[in-house]
Structure 1
Amino acid sequence: MGLGKVRVLAILFDSLNDNNLPAFSGGDLVSGRVVVEVTGDVRVKSLDVTARGVAKVRWTESRNTGANTAYTQNYTEEVEYLHHYDTLIGEERDEDCAEEGLTVLHAGLHEFAFSFNLPQMALATSFEGKHGSVRYWVKAELHRPWLLPVKVKKEFIVFEHIDINTPLLLSPQAGSKEKTLCCWFCASGPISLSAKIERKGYTPGESIQIFCEVENSSSRVVVPKAALYQTQTFFAKGKGKQIQQLVSNLRGETLPQGKSQSWEGRLLKIPPVSPSILDCPIIRVEYVLVVYVDVPGGLNLSLSLPLVIGTIPLHASTSRSSSISSCCSWGPTETPEAPPSYSELAISESHRRNCLVGCDRSEGGGGSLLTYITEFRYLPPPLYSEVDPYPDPVEVRRPETCPSR
C-alpha cells in the first residue's frame, strides 16, 4: 500500500448570504462539508468536527506598589454559546485496511457532511472589539497513526436579530437644555438647545433625521454639531472597561451672538457597523446620538439621545415621517433614504477567502498547522475629522448598566 499525503483539508458551508458569507441566527441549521484530498492511500484513525461559539474578554493592567515595584493584573472572562462535537470517520471499518480501527482514504477527493442546529436561545452577535470578541467557528481534525493531526478552522457569522419595528424602538427621542456662560465681571445670556429624532431604532445604511433648534444669546460664537458614538463595554472579574468611538458626525453653521439656527431634518448617515449587543453578560455594544453646541473656551452644551442599531429594517408600511412632522414645528423635512436590507451592507473584503486551503506536509515533520479564522470587521468610520468632545477610555465598575455621558 502506497504511503499518501494529505494535500487539502477544508471546510465548506452549504448556505451563504448575498455577500458570499456564512451567516446564521439562533435556531438555524448550520450544514457543510469537510473536504479531504489525498495524494495516495492514507490511513485515518478519525475525522472529528467541533463547533464552538464563545464570547471572550481580556485586558491587562499594571499597577505600581512602591519604589521599583509593580504588578500586573489580568482580567479575563468567557461565556460559551455553542459547543457541538461529531465524529465523521472513526466508527466504520474498512475491509481493505490491514489494521483494526483504521479507515483508508484512497487517492483523490473525499467529502464528509456535517450539520448541527444553533441553540434557540438568544445568541450574541459576532463581534471584534478592543478588549473582547464574540466568535463562532467550526474546526475539523484529521487524526492519523503516529503523525500529528491535520487541522482546519473556519469562522461563521451569527446575527442576533433586532427588529426595529417595535413600539419602543419606533418612539421619538427628544430633549432640551440651556446654559449660561459667565465670568467674574460680566454675565452672558443663555444658550438654548432643543433636539429631536423620529425614532430610537435604526439599521446600518439609514440616515437619522435630526430636528434641532439652537439659540445663542451669549457673547460667544458657537457651532451646533451632531455625532454618533459607539460604546463598547467589557466586564471581567467584577470590573469594567469602556471604549467609545466616533462613528459619524456632522457640523452646522457658525452661530454669532444673538442668532438662532434650525435643523429641519438634517441627515446623518449610519455606516456599516455592528448591531447593538445588549444581552451578553460580558460585552455590550451601545450607540448614542449626541447633539451639542460647541462653545470655544467653555464646556459644550449637549443632549444625548440613545439609539439601538438593529438588523431588521423599517417595514415599508411603517412610516414615521408624517408623525415626526406633526410633532415638530420646525418646518418641512428632507426625504429620507430607504434603508437597505442588512445583507446588502458592504463588509470587508478580508472575508472573501478561498474555500479550499491546502496543507502539504512531510509525514515525519511537525510543521505549523493551518488555521482559518475570519475576523468580523467594519468599514472605517468617519470621513470627517473633528476633535472628539467626549474623550476616550473610561472605566466602569457596575456591570448592571453602561455609564452614560
Structure 2
Amino acid sequence: MGAADCTGFTTRQVHAGEGSGGATPRATPIYLTAGFSFGEYGDAAAHFGNGEGYAYTRIGNPTVETVERTIADLEGGSQALLLASGQAATAVALMSIVSAGQHIVSSNHIYEGTRGLLVDSLSRFDISTDFVDDLNDPAAWERLIRPETRALFAESISNGPNRILDIEAIAEVAHRHGIPLVIDNTLATPYLLRPLEHGADVVVHSASKFLAGHGAVLGGVIIDNGRFDAASTGVLFPQLTEVPRGCTQSFAGRAAGDARIAYARESVAPRFGPTPSPLNAFLIGQGIETLSLRVERQTANARALAEALAAHPQVAQVDHPDLPGHPEHALVERYLPAGPGAVFTITLRGGDEAAERFVEALEVFTHMTHIGDVRSLVLHPGSTSHTLLDAEQKAAVGVYPGTLRLSIGIEDAADLIADVTAALEVLEAVAPADVPAAVSA
C-alpha cells in the first residue's frame, strides 16, 4: 500500500510500510507488537482452538519464545516460560502448583521479596508456608511436610550469605512425597549450576540479574523438567489432571510431562498478566550470549576480592563458599566446580556506622539494590532488603549491623581490591568484642 493507492495520509501512515523488507536477520527480531493479524478467516478459530500461530503477545510472541527456548536448553529443561520479572516467575511457578488450603515448605535463606510473597501475599489466599533453618538437613524438611504440602522451595545459592543447597538430598525428600522441588537459581546461573540435573523439578530465575547482565531490563523465567507424572502424583494436582472448563482434555492428557508449565503458560500467566516486553526479551537474549564470559570473570573477581577482604582486620567475616569455614564449603566441589558465583556478604567489625562510612568511601562500587550487573554493586541489607526482620531474624539469615552484600562485576580485580582497601582504611578501629559471637567465631 502506498501513495499510488490514493488512500489518505492517516491511512498511509499506519499501513504504508507493511510487507516491506524480506531480509533474513542474524540477530533475533524484536516483534514489538501487541497482537498479530490473522490470515484466513479460520486461522483465528484455529488459534483459539488449538493454539496454532500467534494472536496476542500476552499469550505468545516469537521474540519471547526464542529466548524461552534458549534458556530451557541452557538449564537442561523441557520448556521455559519468560515473564515480566523474577518475582513474577516465582509467583506464577508456585501458583501453578499450590492451591488454596495447601502448604509450602521453604528454606529460611531466601530473597526477602520471596519471603514477602509467601508470608504476606499467598497467605491471603489460604496458602501457608513453614521455613527450614537448617536448609541441608533432610529431616528438618521432612518434619515440616504435611498431607497438604504441595511444594518445597529453596535457592541454589542464597541471596546474601551464599548458603548452598544440597539439591539432591532435598529433592529426594520432595519426591518421596510426590511433590516438586522448586529452585531459584538466579545467583548460580545455568553456567555454574543446573539444578534440574540434580533432581529439582522447577527452576526460576530473575532474568534481570546475570542472564540479562547489564542492569537495564526486568524479566523472570520458569523452567520445568517436563517429568510430571500424572499416574503417580496426579491426585495431588487436580488442576493438571482434571478437564478444565470448555476443554476436552486435561493438561496432563494433552501435555503429558509438560503439564505443569503448560498450565502456567495457558492458565496462570496470561490471566494474572505479567507479560514480558518483547524488547526486554530481546535484551535478555542478547545478555545470555555473553553469560559464560561475564560469570567466569565475575566469579574469579569475587574469589580474589573475598580472599583480600578475609585478611583485613576491619572485616569480621566473609561469607564466600570458596573460603574455608563456610558452612557449605564442601558442597562447592560437588555442585559448583566452576565456582560459587559473584555475590557474597561481608560483615564489618564496626556495625552500622562502619558500614555507612565504608559505602560512602567506595568509588568503583555502585551503591544500589541489584545484583548480577557488569558493574560491582554494594548494599546494606539490614537497613534495606531485610529491614522488616527483627535482630534475631536477621541473625538467623546471616545479616548483622555491619553486614554488606557485594555483587561483583567485570572490572579489573586489582581496581576492586584497591577500592575496598581504601574504603576500609577510613574506618576507625572497633573492638572485636563489639561483634556478635556468631560473627566473630
TM over 0.5: no
Say which structure is richer in strand. 1
TM-score where L is the length of structure 1: 0.26
TM-score where L is the length of structure 2: 0.24
Q: For the pair shown, which has the larger CA radius of gyration, 1 or 2? A: 1
